Amino acid sequence: MSSSSPSTFPSRPGQRILLGISAGIAAYKSALLARLLVQAGCEVQVVMTEGAQAFITPLTLQALTGRAVRTSLLDPAAELGMGHIELARWAERIVIAPATADLMARLSQGMADDLLTTLCLASDADKILAPAMNQAMWRNPATQRNACQLHQDGWTLLGPDQGDQACGDIGPGRMMEPEAIAAFLLGHTQVETPEETSPPLGSTQGQGIHIVITAGPTREPLDPVRYLSNHSSGKMGFALAEAAVASGARVTLIAGPVNLPTPAGVTRLDVESAVQMLDTAESLMDTCDIFIGCAAVADYRAESPAEHKIKKQDHQPELTLRLIKNPDIIATLAARPDSPVMVGFAAETRNVVAYAQDKLKRKGLDMIVANDVSAEQMQQGLGFGGDRNAATLIWRQGEDILTQDEPAQDKIQLASKVISQALKCLELSS
């Protein structure tokens, strides 16, 4: 959503907006939002939670809106005038910015334990919230379930944006900028609906579906202390598992040797080699609806790993290793007569899309995610080891092969789009 200067907003005299502010550091942005709305001709009534007042004072908002800020449900003076029920009826729109994880949890459960949540329950107004919280809090499955429930209850969610956060983290969770929120409220821009874009984290699109995901590298032993492997960190596969859980699916993650915490709600099975990964995956196929092969599986392994450490010989300047091909995990599973929807990954350094399309056809896959892992991309922090990635999604739709380019973005955002498209492929196959 693009931002605009106040002078470009269309005037909407008389639009009555109840601006709710909850206890987050982003509350300072709400002052600018209130000012922009007032400048555009809106009537703005601010309601603050008790915690919000620790971040910004009611007097500041009163000066910007020309209205006394409401903070308490049990305020005798306020109830003599515009009581909370009358205030709920007055509002044409309720906008909560910032909306903390705590407030979203209370709203999703229908609680009415302070003035703001009571007004939300008592009002038939359009309801909009702009989430703002630490990236880990936003990604937590509990928050995602609450976001999904609020969406189902009719709330419009604006954001969150991603980027630097006050705590020093980087990722999704930043409150959308006041100019962008004002632009939406004043009709300058629109928010894409779930039918127009991938469902946000928190969707229940995957309810009742079992998704099996492989992640990370494999290690192929040469001797007891050495192995063949690659640079895969496992971050993309773990992000896919996180996004799959957020979609409502049951998720089993087959992880190669990585140093990553298990996402909440995920069943994790650790393996080392390609053969172990294949054996584990095959044991899950009877209940699997979607298989996503995100692991960077070693193409070759030692024909006969040494029983003891291979010693360096001063008189032997060269060492010859005899390697044999590892099983092709995704092709093996795709060849099964009862194979689930098969999603592969193609990490290439050139001719990325062409090679990926060939792999899609050659291995009988339903979908493939093409990654450019060239040195130029790696220097930009994309791909192996980074927190961001860019990709091209390629999938079958009948006789057609469709593609969708995804620019550089946080891996959890890209993962959500991959999961969404994989679920659509499952729908097409049924």
Instruction: Return binding residues for CTP.
Output: 293-295, 299, 309, 327-330, 345, 359, 363
Give the active site residue among 120, 148, 167, 288.
167
Longest dimension (CA), the chain: 98
Cα atoms in the 13 Å half-sphere on the side-chain side of 13? 0
Rounded-to-integer distance, Cα 200 and Cα 152, Å: 12
Q: For residue 121, what are the contacts with CB-CB under 8 A and spacing of at least 6? A: 110, 112
Cβ neighbourhood burial of 14 (10 Å; 0-12, 13-18, 19+) = exposed
Would you give the DSSP letter of residue 211?
A: E
Known binding-site residues equal 293-295, 299, 309, 327-330, 345, 359, 363
Cβ–Cβ < 8 Å for 371, 348: yes
Give every CB contact of residue 210 below 8 A, 6+ residues apart in sequence.
Answer: 249, 250, 251, 252, 284, 287, 288, 289, 290
Structure tokens at 128: 């909009």
Alpha carbons 28 and 185: distance in angstroms, whole number = 19
Number of H helices, E strands in the chain: 15, 19
Query: DSSP states of 139-176 as a string?
Result: HSHHHHHHHHHHHHTTPEE---EEEE-TTS-EEEEEPP
Asked whether the bond before 6 is cis by omega within 30 degrees of 0, the reply is no
Q: Would residue 167 show up in a list of annotated catalytic residues for this protein?
A: yes
Ordered DSSP codes for 58-104: HHHHHHHHSSPPB--TT-HHHHHSS-HHHHHHH-SEEEEEEE-HHHH
The burial of 68, by beta-carbon neighbours within 10 Å (0-12 exposed, 13-18 middle, 19 or more buried), is given as middle
DSSP 8-state assignment for residue 285: G
- What is the set of active-site residues? 167
